[in-house]
Chains A and B, each alone.
Chain A
Amino acid sequence: MEIFEADVLIIGAGGAGLRAAIAAAQADPSLTIALVSKVLPMRSHTVAAEGGSAGVIQAHDSLENHFNDTVHGGDWLCEQDVVEYFVSEATAELIQLEHWGCPWSRKPNGQINVRAFGGMKIERTWFAADRTGFHILHTLFQTSTHYPSIKRFDEHFCLDLIVADGRAQGATVLSPSTGAFTAIFARSVILATGGAGRVFRQNTNGGIVTGDGMALAFRHGVPLRDMEFVQYHPTCMPGSGILFTEACRGEGGYLVNKDGYRYLQDYGLGPVTTEPRNKTMELGPRDRLSQAFWQEERKGRTFVTPQGESAVYLDLRHLGRAKLKERLPLIFGLAEEFMGLDPAETPIPVRPAVHYTMGGILTDINTATPLAGLFAAGECSSVGIHGANRLGSNSLGELTVFGRVAGQEAVKFARGAPAVDPARLADQAKASIAKALSVRDRKGGGERHSVIRKEMASTMEKGCGIYRLGPEMQETCEKLAELKRRAEHITLDDRSDIWNTDWLAALELGYQLDVAEAMAHSALLRKESRGAHQRLDGFEKRDDERFLAHSLARYRPGAAPEISYGPVKITKSQPGERAYGARGEQLEKKDGAHV
């Protein structure tokens, strides 16, 4: 085992981790920052974000509007003080990215261009064609190479955190390339490991999105908040789940059923207009659109694709080839390469797939978790801006705003923290290594991890899908407990040291099962419908009296997680009716509020 002594350790080098690293390096160049990523940083899943990042820039827009859109979109389960901070900082971060070279799409006069997005009252989504996450990630990665105090550990897999004296003091990592273990000691630690969408069957996520950081924090006693809220993105490729950005609709695309009918008008999202209209029809929020798909399917108005999946059409034909190539080149290529169709000529079959985890590691507004010295930012965290449903183009902004905060706060903490005691911490690292090796070297004819993963993904889809039923969620909880027992006996084909991805996948499955359990149990106990959590078993309505509250899942070794509830911070927006389309506009007029 090798030892590396850092001041700040960051686990995860996607948008949030890289932004944190740069902020930390700028805040105090004398500190050593260890940046661990299980892939090369530019492979991180931020790379797959397409549509854009929200930040108020137009004169007729306001921070108030962005705040209201976000809080309403989250069905009032947002931390309103955090949302207020977020919207006030988002634009500055987008400008910062511009100064670092991010190729934002421009108007003919050279100014930043913005596009419409679901649930947003005014166009405020900055975009780099439909490769926004890709460009943000590469800009941040490339910029980070300028800072010598950032010591990267590319392609290093995190086995466990090191926690002593009640504070996070490092992590134990494995290099698959060399087979070597390293204990990285640090005075503060940031988790920026992304989401956990791969616990579901059909999802938009890359293979690496396995909830590692969530599970690591969870196992060390940090609550996971609001885990029942899992976002289904309404327009994904049937079968693979590959994403067709919301920007397709922001640019004016239609969603039609098998009869060519713009069905969203039947679900409180009308009136139908030819041109895109904010917060109406295809520009409604993701939870509502995915739910409308489910209803259409029940009515028999979807069709079945060659992959055996139900689908509707995303019709982009009327936008014309030139606009599609300019604004949506990635989408154009995906349709051509993967589906063999020309979106300028043929509507694209799409369906909802799991996209995003609204919940995550509990943090305060400063990204601090309840475990001293441990911070979290990005999708792995629950800082509180998304509530029960995230609005499209709010997650990239979250990476940069709260990535920066995490970097600065972790530096502050590190400066005030006592030095680590390497001898004591090394023992803990050795124990983590022994535990990981026991998974690799386990003998006996146990199952393959792939069998358990597949069953996990299908039970999550069944019990925790777009609509949920008590008995089905109960069944999912029981199934997950069974899978966890079976996972203890997994045996691997591969016992080698170098690039043993069989082993890494088994360790990731362990993370996934813990996170899936937190999701399923949180879902079962939320007896109401709110945002992305919709029930059909007598709890169809939002229940603010009992459930205007954050769920908190706490890990219990060898048992199901314990679920409790915490208060929601309401500052200026009292919970009200959440409506879109004509009804939304009516409400806005009535009470003069921004909807």
Chain B
Amino acid sequence: MSEPVNAESAVLQKTFELRILRYTPGRDEEPAFGSFQVTGAEGMTVLEALQTIKDTLDGTLSYRWSCRMAVCGSCGMMINGTPRLACSTLLRDLPPGPVTVEPLQNFPIERDLVISVDAFVKKIESVYPYLIPKEQKTVAEGPHLQTPAQMAAYESFSDCINCMLCYAACPQFGENPDFIGPGAMAMLQRYNGDSRDGGRQKRLDTIHGEDGVWSCTAVGICSEVCPKQVDPANAVNQNKTNSAFDFFLRFLRTEQPQ
């Protein structure tokens, strides 16, 4: 038994124009823009506009989405040239006029707004993204102690939703697709900064190389576009220091083996 719901027409409606970069492999020679007029609630999000297009105008439009609340990380795309989450971008907050929607920059396009995620996932996997316990403990022995101050050392990095906006913004990644990149560096620092973890050395070894932390040219735009204030640039900076220090220590170790 439903509640008396007011007519949808009572909601303030507005028409928006979206210019969307379209590409279907095997059919299109190269990506090209398509234009759509969408009428919907004045407060509608870019994602809701895409859904309206797909449901009523053109079912072939392809994009990823799920949670609608900026936590699953699926719907990253370039909106007016900036990497953003479509679900948390309200059309009314954008400048008047047509809104340009493109797939995340720096990634291969699979179709329309869908980009290839495989290389990103491999990067995440390459930094040992799990706790390597400092001390082995059984469940019967209970949880570790970890003070709020100790948590603060890694907490923001653990908030990364893997949305890849930082990669789309990163000029270095744009030039070198093998660059480990800000998101994976945040992941690395999430564990290296954790008081329960003992895997620091192992992880640092993954980022000394030419595609590692030193490739970063300290532009810092990764942190600017991050929708979760993870501050991956901070993770990169900390690891430049750590990597340098580690390199130096290693040198000492080779000189005076114990």
Contacts and interface: CB of A to CB of B under 8 A. Distances in A.
B51 to A, nearest CB: 9
A138 interface: yes
A588 interface: no
A499 interface: yes
B155 to A, nearest CB: 6
Contacts of B144: 98-99
A109 B146 CA distance: 8
Contact of B162 (A42, A135, A243, A498): A42
Given A100-B130, A145-B125, A467-B1, A498 B24 contact: yes
Nearest to A44: B72
Interface in A75-118: 92, 95-96, 98-101, 103-104, 106, 108-112
Given A297-B3, A308-B7, A497-B26, A207 B65 contact: yes
A494 interface: yes
B115 to A, nearest CB: 10
Interface stretch (A223-231, A330-338, A381-389, A407-415): A330-338
Contacts of B125: 145
A157 B26 CA distance: 22
Contacts of A110: 145-148, 150
Interface in B51-79: 54-56, 58-60, 62-74
Contact of B2 (A450, A461, A498): A461
B70 A465 contact: no
Contacts of B66: 39, 43, 45, 206-208
Contact of A304 (B6, B64, B68): B6
A493 B58 contact: yes
Of A96, A142, A239, A502, chain B has the most CB atoms within 10 Å of the CB of A142
Contact of B72 (A48, A142, A143, A499): A48
A304 B111 CA distance: 41
Contacts of A208: 66
A462 B2 contact: yes
B36 to A, nearest CB: 14
Interface string B1-12: 111111110111
Given A47-B72, A206-B67, A101 B150 contact: no
Classify chain A's interface size: 35 or more
A338 B133 CA distance: 39
A492 interface: yes
Contacts of A493: 58-60
B1 A465 contact: yes
A496 B27 contact: yes
A101 B65 contact: no
Contacts of A184: none
B42 to A, nearest CB: 8
B137 interface: yes
Classify chain B's interface size: 35 or more
Contacts of B206: none
B191 interface: yes
A27 to B, nearest CB: 16
Interface in B21-65: 24-27, 41, 43, 54-56, 58-60, 62-65
A448 interface: yes
A308 B5 contact: yes
Given A110-B145, A131-B159, A338-B88, A43 B73 contact: yes
B77 to A, nearest CB: 14
A310 interface: yes
A499 B111 contact: yes
B246 interface: no
Given A100-B131, A103-B155, A131-B159, A39 B74 contact: yes
B205 interface: no
B102 interface: no
Interface string A242-259: 110000000000000000
B162 A536 contact: no
Contacts of B56: 448, 450
Given A101-B191, A465-B3, 11 more contacts: A39-B66, A43-B66, A95-B139, A100-B130, A207-B67, A310-B3, A337-B70, A337-B88, A465-B1, A499-B111, A536-B1
Interface of A: 39-40, 42-45, 47-48, 92, 95-96, 98-101, 103-104, 106, 108-112, 131, 134-135, 138, 142-143, 145-146, 154-155, 177, 206-208, 239-240, 242-243, 294, 297, 304, 306-310, 330, 333-334, 337-338, 448, 450, 454, 461-463, 465-469, 472, 492-494, 496-502, 536
Interface of B: 1-8, 10-12, 24-27, 41, 43, 54-56, 58-60, 62-74, 88, 90, 110-112, 114, 116-117, 121, 124-125, 129-131, 133, 137, 139, 142-148, 150-151, 154-155, 158-159, 161-162, 187, 191, 194, 196-197
14 contacts: A95-B139, A101-B196, A108-B148, A110-B148, A207-B67, A242-B68, A307-B43, A308-B8, A337-B88, A338-B90, A454-B55, A462-B1, A468-B1, A501-B63
